Amino acid sequence: MTRWKPDARGRMIAAAMELFAERGFDATTAGDIAAHAGVTERTFFRHFADKREVLFDGSGTMAHLATEAILAAPASLPPLDAALAGMAAAGGLLADRREHAVRRSRIVAAHPALHERELLKLASLVDATADALRARAVPDPDAALAAHCAVACFHVAFGAWISAADPAPDFARYVDRAAAALRALS
């Protein structure tokens, strides 16, 4: 049947994106995805904790990038600015994959269960950001609040970046714009 075994994981992700986009999330069974990727359903669940998780493979990396950027930021940078630097860094993961990100966000927006999982990933980003700020000796509740605000900017920036007319918009610029609007609130 299939002679290539390499990167079963990547094939499952691609198959899921394709099938979810075509038939929708509900009408696609885990077995469908697995078969389309040339593996068994059992193997699918060995790679992904559940059916939704297949769409959120890079989220851990994003939190990692944000953490590193925040810890690497100059100590003189205020908490909110450090957190925002983390958001811009996390966005670096999207830089070369806007088309993929657009298709993915369309699929996620189409099903409440996927939206819910995305919220969980954003919450993980909030937690990672807050932890990184605490490692910079930012006290609570400032760390938690700054993390929440920064991720809110990330979220708003992502929405604008996804629907930008510019074919290759710079994510960091959108974070800056959201941050400016945030500061203007108070």
Partner DNA sequence: TTACTGATGTCAGTCACTGACATCCGCAGG
Partner DNA sequence: CCTGCGGATGTCAGTGACTGACATCAGTAA
Contact positions with DNA (CB under 7 A) in 113-132:
none
The stretch among 32-40, 76-84, 93-101, 164-172 that binds a copy of itself (CB under 8 A) is: 76-84
DSSP-derived secondary structure for 18-84: HHHHHH-STT--HHHHHHHHTS-HHHHHHHSSSGGGGG-TTHHHHHHHHHHHHHHS-TTS-HHHHHH
* C-alpha closest to that of 91 among 184, 156, 13: 156
Cβ-based neighbours of 39, under 8 Å, separated by 6 or more: 8, 11, 12
Q: Which two tokens stand for residue 84?
A: 């925002």
Nearest Cα neighbor of 153 from 168, 133, 171, 132 is: 171
Q: Which of 98, 148, 164, 169 is in the footprint of a copy of itself by CB under 8 A?
A: 148
Residue (of 169, 125, 171, 173) closest to 149 by Cα position = 125
Which range in 12-20, 35-43, 55-63, 155-163 contacts a copy of itself by CB under 8 A?
155-163
**If binding is defined by CB under 8 A, does position 173 make contact with a copy of itself?**
no
Contact letters for a copy of itself, residues 4-43 (x by CB under 8 A) = ----------------------------------------
- Applying CB under 7 A, among 46, 97, 115, 183 the residue interacting with DNA is 46
Residues in contact with DNA by the rule CB under 7 A: 5, 8, 28-31, 38-43, 45-47, 49-52
Residues in contact with a copy of itself by the rule CB under 8 A: 78-80, 112, 115-117, 119-120, 123, 141-142, 144-146, 148-149, 152-153, 155-156, 160, 178, 181-186
